[in-house]
Every structure is written in structure tokens, then in C-alpha cells.
Amino acid sequence: MSAEPERAMRYADDITHDDVLALEAFIYAQLRPVQDAAGETGDTFCALRSLEILVCGSAGILLALLRQDERSQEQRLTILREWNRLRSTASWWDYRDGYDTNRWNRVNHVDECDWTEGDL
């Protein structure tokens, strides 16, 4: 019996702690071989280090907000923005093994009410 594929994300409320950790780990796995080849000096090193800092920042914000039981609309919009930033970064490697095309998609709505209001 095969496992059911996870449902694609539609709303910011669908994003989980595990999604963030998996996406962050995937990005780092793509960067690691380039970092190893680049060494610890030069422009490539600086560019990779800067990208790593941005990924860590977005993931950190997401994880902190996802730990909260109650979130304001502003916090939920921040989750939406940071998820899409992280997902866009990873999408350059969407052809690689480990990229979850079923789950890691762009999220355009905070929740079902936001989606419904946008279609009126």
C-alpha cells in the first residue's frame, strides 16, 4: 500500500513547521556542494553566505510564527510572504531529487475566507 501524497498547500494556514524545516534543508543541500567547491574566500563564497543568511532568516521567522497558537492577520501575512520567499529560492532547483512539487507551491491566500473574498 503506497502512502498518500500530501495535499498541496493553498493557504498560509496550511504551512507547517515540518514544511519549513524540509524546505530549508533542501536549499542547504543544494548550496553545500557549491560552497565546498568555492572555498571560504571570493565572490562566490560571499554570494552563497549571503543567500544562506537570507534563507536562515526567512526560516527563522516562519518557525517562530508557526509556534504561536493564535496569529494576527499581520503575522499570517508574514507567514505567506516568508514562505513564498523561501519557496521561490528553492524553485530554481525544482528539477532535483528531493524537491516536493506536490507540496512546495506558491501560496497566495492567508485562508479560505481570503481566497473567497478575492474571487468576489
Q: Residues for the chain: how many in total?
A: 120
Residue at 4 is within a domain: no
The rounded distance, in Å, linking the Cα atoms of 58 and 88 is: 12
Element of type H or E holding 67? none
The pLDDT confidence band at residue 111, using thresholds 50, 70 and 90, is: confident
At residue 3, the pLDDT reads: 47
Asked if residue 61 lies in contact with residue 82, where contact means CB atoms within 8 angstroms, the answer is yes
Flag whether 3 is in a domain. no
pLDDT at site 120: 42
Q: Which residue has the higher pLDDT, 4 or 89?
A: 89
Nearest to 26 by CA among 72, 114, 87: 87
pLDDT in tens, 64-105: 999 999 999 999 999 999 999 999 999 999 999 999 999 999
Give the chain's domain count. 1
Contact criterion met (CB below 8 Å) for 23 and 98: no
**What residues are paired with 11 via a beta bridge?**
109
Domain that includes residue 56, residue range: 12-97+104-114
Residue 4 has pLDDT above 50, yes or no: no
Residue-wise pLDDT for 26-53, tens only, equals 999 999 999 999 988 899 999 999 999 9
120 lies in a domain?
A: no
Q: Is residue 56 part of a domain?
A: yes
Tell me if 56 sits within 8 A of 29, measured CB to CB: no
Give the pLDDT score at 2.
41
Residue 10 is predicted with a pLDDT of 83
Indicate the SS3 state at residue 86. helix
